[in-house]
Structure 1
Amino acid sequence: MNAQYKMLIDGQLISSKETFAVLNPATGEVVAHAPQAEPEHIEQALVAADKGFALWSSMPLSQRETLILAYADLLEANKEDIISILISETGKPYDNAEYDFGMLVTCLRYFIEEAKRIEQPVIPDPDGRFLHYMRRQPLGVVVGYLAWNFPLLNVGYKIGPALAAGCSTIIKPSQVTPLASLRCAEIALEAGIPSGVINMISSDQYNVTDPLLTSDKTKLFTMIGSTNAGVNCMKNSLTNLKHFSVELGGNAPVVVYDDADLDKAVQDIVDLKFANSGQVCVSPNRCFVHESVYLEFLTRAGKRAEELTLQAGRGEGRLMGPMINGKERDRVIGLIEQAVSNGAKVITGGDKLAGNGFYLQPTIIADVDLTMSVVQEEIFGPVLAVLPFSDNDDILAIANDNEFGLAAYVYTTNLQRGLQAAEKIQAGSVCINEAHYSVQLPHGGLKQSGVGKDCSKYSLEEYMTLKRVSVLVNE
């Protein structure tokens, strides 16, 4: 593994005077040092992206397609090297890391195809005097701040539509997991992506990177992260008018009705909950189970959770990696302890593993009530809080009683009940009887879970202007 990581600015690989350490969550050891961006690097990136936009936006889509597909091919040629880096900085099991990497390549290929089908409709003129039509054109320089839970998927969610639309980018991956992203940016050079089109900087000092937000060169600020971080970044950005597309916090409710296929519900909920050690924005957090199947659900869910093996990288069976760092693990353990002190019961798990690494057992807690922090807050860890409900409860109102609205899940074999839940639940996505996410499906939140969309044609539209053109054709 190459321990020398550099930023990509204006087509050049850039080092810095200072660096910061990146830890392997599976061992707690430093695996590499990332460059610490300096103020001049930020200004260079902004100037480069501005020039890159002028070139890239004027390039025919067919030429952009050739370069983007070449980039995707080169990434795949370096797949194992990139995944190895990704595992070292995230502690992911191999299949999770492979999915993370694969989504970057998928996004590059999907969005350049979708750009060929962007809708630019003609609007009828009631008097027959004008030809009115819509034009979609590249928006400008895009700045993206990304989260650490899926580093490369998050890069794909942003540079996929940006490059396809004709925008240039400045990406700041999380300071916790910058290494694989920096390596992928380096490969963009090999693919022939023009200078300034992709710029990748690394930093853990927001006072240095804030000019990315305040610059009048930045036309779109996009982000994946917590609601608090998103609000602060948007507030700092408002030195002039910009576009925003931010996917923020989630606290996904799950409703398991008495007529649900319980085996399917348990498998689906447990597997999604403990994927990526619960560090997933759409992870089930508040699991409401009808009282008639509540105890059976707990028994089956506990058994399935206990079948997980805590291990990074390759291994046999169903694996779960560590949490990202000790601070996050301590925070989640605090939520468990607080719930237990207020009457909750641990069905399985609840302890960290002895030794190095930031592992926390997959945990299911019962007898939880709505006032507990483990229900009110986004857990973002391997803990499933399970609450019973009865026919006397307005369960959909209870599910909506939260500031977040990113994702929700419902399990029922009653079609009418499922459709009513889909209509009434306040979330950006509602999955009935199986969690499902894909690049062609819009992903984003309501309420305090963000604005805008990732994935699908709706994401691509956010990287483009919407211009109306009217041409007089009949006097």
Structure 2
Amino acid sequence: MSEKKYPMLINGEKISTKQSFNVVNPSTGEVLGQVPEIDADSIQLTLKSADAGFKAWSAKTPAERKTVILRYAEVLEQNSKRIIALLRAETGKPQDNAEYDFGMLGNCLRFFVEEMERLDQPVLHDPDGRFMHYMLRQPLGVCVGMLAWNFPLLNVAYKIGPALAAGCSVILKPSTETPLASLEVAYLAKEAGLPDGVINMVTGRDHEMMKNMLKSDIPSMVTMIGSTRGGLEVMNAACTSIKHFSVELGGNAPVVVYPDADVADAATKVVDLKFANCGQVCVSPNRCFVHESVYDEFVEAAKARAMEVEMGPLISEKARAYILGLVESAVADGADVVCGGQAKDGEGFFMEPTILANVVRKMNVAYEEIFGPVLPIIKYSDSDDEIALANDTQYGLAAYVFTTNLKNGLRAARDIQAGSVCVNEPHYSVQLPHGGLKQSGVGKDCSRYSLEEYLTLKRVSVLVD
């Protein structure tokens, strides 16, 4: 795939700037293309365009918006092969993972159009019978989204789905690591009939420059998918005026395997999720607590499953070096490498699927978000409080529990501090709310709860007597 330039999309036009930067294929290390470094003039143009786009889009009826959004889904799917090929090149994803990533665009666009029609606007009781009170939902405004690189198109879908259905305009900044397929998605908005300025997509590495956009009083919402540190920086910069926030940040997902669990099934499901997307998943199992009575059985079953795994590369050499450093540190502190633990020879940023046994909580690998293909397995006993172990983290995004005891499952689901708890099988879907507690963020992606964040909630009272 030859190197080319990918301009930003602002007000329906492809915009370049004087400076640009390279996007690299993590499977080969080769440069795929160049994207613009946003400048101050482009930021002001983007803000002005998104404001005008919001006024035009929010003025349309829900039925008119629905027609355009469904057409957009069709146009994207007509270009799926080209976009998926580009997505694979910039991420290194296997074909099935890339197809899933792309497929979320159509799924989200269609789901949120339908969900908009299902939202209620209730009439409220008046004790004196003098008024009719009702709730009115209206589009919130311009939404700025800062996106992550691990699932580039899914992240775009999570933002444009509810925003477009609600009648908002968006300014999206994809990750500097993986902006190319996202830009191609944005270019197709005009073909689908979206008014200019409704979808704007910008690129840039200069965080200080981007803060100028966040500081503006034009955006009504700032949303993000990324690290907790990045989320704090974004929220701090945006607090120059009152804005809504919806941010999905870092995770350190615990797994609790009870002694009564189906151990082979648990090991298979944990390994499959852990090594999906080379471990670069926000809800990936990060600390696996296994009861001592089934510990050895679980480790052996996990190892057998891991030997069957095929993974793409990590996103960069820097990411791989960090994860290899965690493994090296854990081994130095007494952990055992059950399998993997090394970088793969050859071009690209590949690494072996790695399982670590005899991990203890003081090790860096047990309390830092790994975001790579390393599964630490920690032994616990009857004298331990497994729920306290699971909650011993600043994060609270996702958690997993494996047990055949209903009481254990329900108690763990109630007491583990996480935005989602899956018992006996990881499960995620567009109709289910996704978001975190504690330092893992605020707000939700997916489901009606996400859509509601892009709408105002206004009470209207009409005197009738």
TM-score by length of 1: 0.97
1: CA distance, partners of 2:53 / 2:219: 13
After TM superposition, give the deviation of residue 166 of structure 1 in Å. 0.3
Identity %: 62
Tell me which amino acid in the other structure corresponds to 1:31: L
**2:411 aligned residue (410, 417, 420):** 420
Alignment of 1:141-180 (within 5 A): 141-180=142-181
**Is the aligned partner of 1:131 residue 2:148?**
no
Give the aligned partner of residue 427 of structure 2. Answer: 436
After TM superposition, give the deviation of residue 326 of structure 1 in Å. 0.4
**Is the aligned partner of 1:15 residue 2:16?**
yes
2: CA distance, partners of 1:202 / 1:341: 41
**Is the aligned partner of 1:468 residue 2:449?**
no
* Larger mean Cα displacement after TM superposition, 200-209 or 20-29: 200-209
* Larger mean Cα displacement after TM superposition, 419-428 or 118-127: 118-127
**Is the aligned partner of 1:89 residue 2:78?**
no
Alignment of 1:113-124 (within 5 A): 113-124=114-125
Alignment of 1:242-321 (within 5 A): 242-308=243-309, 319-321=310-312
Helix, strand or coil: the match of 1:25? coil
Tell me which amino acid in the other structure corresponds to 2:444: K
Aligned residues: 464
1: CA distance, partners of 2:301 / 2:262: 12
After TM superposition, give the deviation of residue 5 of structure 1 in Å. 1.1
Helix, strand or coil: the match of 2:5? coil
**Is the aligned partner of 1:396 residue 2:387?**
yes
**Is the aligned partner of 1:345 residue 2:346?**
no
Give the aligned partner of residue 41 of structure 2. Answer: 40
After TM superposition, give the deviation of residue 4 of structure 1 in Å. 2.9
After TM superposition, give the deviation of residue 184 of structure 1 in Å. 0.5
1: CA distance, partners of 2:113 / 2:231: 28
2: CA distance, partners of 1:205 / 1:174: 12
Tell me which amino acid in the other structure corresponds to 1:10: N
After TM superposition, give the deviation of residue 16 of structure 1 in Å. 2.0
Helix, strand or coil: the match of 1:367? strand
After TM superposition, give the deviation of residue 388 of structure 1 in Å. 0.8
Q: Deviations over 1:317-367 (max 9, x none)?
A: xx3100000001100111111111111111000000111100011000011
Tell me which amino acid in the other structure corresponds to 1:434: E
Give the aligned partner of residue 346 of structure 2. Answer: 355
Tell me which amino acid in the other structure corresponds to 1:454: D
Alignment of 1:50-89 (within 5 A): 50-89=51-90
Q: Deviations over 1:16-55 (max 9, x none)?
A: 2221000111111111111222211111010000001111
After TM superposition, give the deviation of residue 445 of structure 1 in Å. 0.1
Tell me which amino acid in the other structure corresponds to 1:156: A
Helix, strand or coil: the match of 1:320? coil
Listed as ranges, the gaps of 5+ residues in structure 1 are: 309-318
Give the aligned partner of residue 313 of structure 1. Answer: none
Q: Deviations over 1:138-158 (max 9, x none)?
A: 000000000000000000000
Helix, strand or coil: the match of 2:170? strand
Tell me which amino acid in the other structure corresponds to 2:429: S
Listed as ranges, the gaps of 5+ residues in structure 2 are: none
RMSD between aligned residues = 0.8
Give the aligned partner of residue 311 of structure 1. Answer: none
2: CA distance, partners of 1:356 / 1:377: 28
1: CA distance, partners of 2:252 / 2:404: 24
Tell me which amino acid in the other structure corresponds to 1:185: A
1: CA distance, partners of 2:417 / 2:271: 23
1: CA distance, partners of 2:236 / 2:18: 30
After TM superposition, give the deviation of residue 392 of structure 1 in Å. 1.3
1: CA distance, partners of 2:199 / 2:243: 20
2: CA distance, partners of 1:168 / 1:386: 45
Alignment of 1:162-241 (within 5 A): 162-241=163-242
After TM superposition, give the deviation of residue 125 of structure 1 in Å. 0.9
1: CA distance, partners of 2:192 / 2:24: 29
Give the aligned partner of residue 438 of structure 2. Answer: 447
1: CA distance, partners of 2:299 / 2:73: 44
Give the aligned partner of residue 375 of structure 1. Answer: 366
1: CA distance, partners of 2:105 / 2:382: 44
1: CA distance, partners of 2:285 / 2:328: 20
Tell me which amino acid in the other structure corresponds to 1:231: L
TM-score by length of 2: 0.99
Tell me which amino acid in the other structure corresponds to 2:447: S
